[in-house]
Copies of this chain bind each other. A is one copy, B any other.
């Protein structure tokens, strides 16, 4: 029985074994279907005995629902995204939905990648990545009734979106740093110019403007520790800033290490460093990061909510807004 490399049995073959038609086999596996309970039990028994399970590919072709969900992400190696991905995958699996991961960061042709995934007739698409344009995603997944969940709202499209508001929390954080006497601020972006990045930067820029300040310098990394480290060295040495707002937590940790190791400056006295995302790692004792935090569970709840509305055929695009909070550590 174990490990035999035999071909998977088909519904028709099982039908012969159980002395019924293949239609009845199908009905035995559809929860609410007109079928005698005795017949069903017998079929399920025979099925278990022969290791039969309905072919999901054939089933998907027939009823136009694949139970596959495409997750468009930057990377799965970066903890900043990974925690949310983990939560979402968990929720999807609980609903018998299977996630297909599309990693954009290291793929040269992201559109081709999305096109490939779209041919699998995925039921839903969740775009986390800020490396693809929403418009491209909408165009490629135009099929059936896709919902695209993302930060970026597209007003005139049938796309649901989750909006993030961190203005207030950013204001709190800037307030504290200014009161601590810091004067020269820098923003360290994660991407060259994504919608998300611009939005986040604006929260802090507005908070600075309110106090008659502005970013003295701007640098661009790639959401990695190394880029945070490298860019921070430049910002601190060349631009003489004393506060760095980072596009995510991982870069903030890199920046903190750079300040300490290369420049000999410590947080929060010599320099203030702020992260964004509020990942678990940021709260580790060795990091203790001040960060603009988003409630991951609430965020994924919102994603699932949108997916469910979509499944329930609720009309029109939907939008949910979430608010960030400041999480205080010893770096600012």
B103 and A53 contact, CB distance less than 8 A: no
B66 and A76 contact, CB distance less than 8 A: no
Chain B residues closer than 8 Å to A94, beta-carbon distance:
107
CA distance A118 to B145 in the complex (A): 26
Q: Mark A148-160, 1 if CB is under 8 A from B, else 0.
A: 0000001001110
Q: Does A3 contact B (CB under 8 A)?
A: yes
A120/B57 contact (C-beta < 8 A), A7-B144, A79-B79 known: yes
Q: Does A60 contact B (CB under 8 A)?
A: yes
Chain B residues closer than 8 Å to A79, beta-carbon distance:
77, 79, 82
Q: Does A143 contact B (CB under 8 A)?
A: yes
B86 and A75 contact, CB distance less than 8 A: yes
Total copies of the chain: 2
Q: Mark A100-117, 1 if CB is under 8 A from B, else 0.
A: 111100110000010111
B93 and A113 contact, CB distance less than 8 A: yes
CB-contact partner of A285 in B138, B159, B257, under 8 A: B257
Chain B residues closer than 8 Å to A55, beta-carbon distance:
61, 119, 121
Q: Does A286 contact B (CB under 8 A)?
A: yes
Q: Does A30 contact B (CB under 8 A)?
A: no
CB-contact partner of A2 in B76, B113, B139, under 8 A: B139
Chain B residues closer than 8 Å to A86, beta-carbon distance:
75-77, 103, 106
Chain B residues closer than 8 Å to A78, beta-carbon distance:
82
Q: Does A183 contact B (CB under 8 A)?
A: no
CA distance A51 to B7 in the complex (A): 36
Q: Does A293 contact B (CB under 8 A)?
A: no
A56 and B93 contact, CB distance less than 8 A: no
* Shortest distance between the CB of A188 and any CB in chain B (Å): 17
Q: Mark A196-230, 1 if CB is under 8 A from B, else 0.
A: 00000000000000000000000000000100010
B138 and A56 contact, CB distance less than 8 A: no
Q: Mark A125-145, 1 if CB is under 8 A from B, else 0.
A: 000000000010011001111
Count how many chain A residues have C-beta atoms less than 8 Å from C-beta atoms of the other chain.
Answer: 75
Closest residue of chain B to A8 (Cβ to Cβ) is B143
A256 and B286 contact, CB distance less than 8 A: yes
B76 and A142 contact, CB distance less than 8 A: no
CA distance A134 to B96 in the complex (A): 23
Q: Mark A29-54, 1 if CB is under 8 A from B, else 0.
A: 00000000000000000000001011
What are the 7 tightest A-B residue pairs by CB atom distance, in nearest-first order? A77-B86, A257-B285, A56-B119, A8-B143, A3-B138, A56-B120, A3-B157
Known: A7-B144, A8-B144, A258-B285. 9 other contacts (CB 8 A): A3-B157, A5-B144, A56-B120, A57-B57, A76-B76, A77-B86, A98-B117, A257-B286, A260-B285
Name A residues whose Cβ lies closer than 8 Å to a Cβ of B: 1-8, 51, 53-58, 60-61, 66, 68, 75-79, 82-83, 85-86, 89-90, 93-94, 96, 98-103, 106-107, 113, 115-121, 135, 138-139, 142-145, 154, 157-159, 225, 229, 253-254, 256-258, 260-261, 280-281, 284-287
Question: Can you pick out 10 interface pairs between chain A and chain B where the beta carbons lie within 8 Å of each other?
Answer: A5-B144, A7-B143, A53-B115, A53-B119, A57-B121, A68-B100, A98-B116, A98-B120, A100-B100, A256-B286
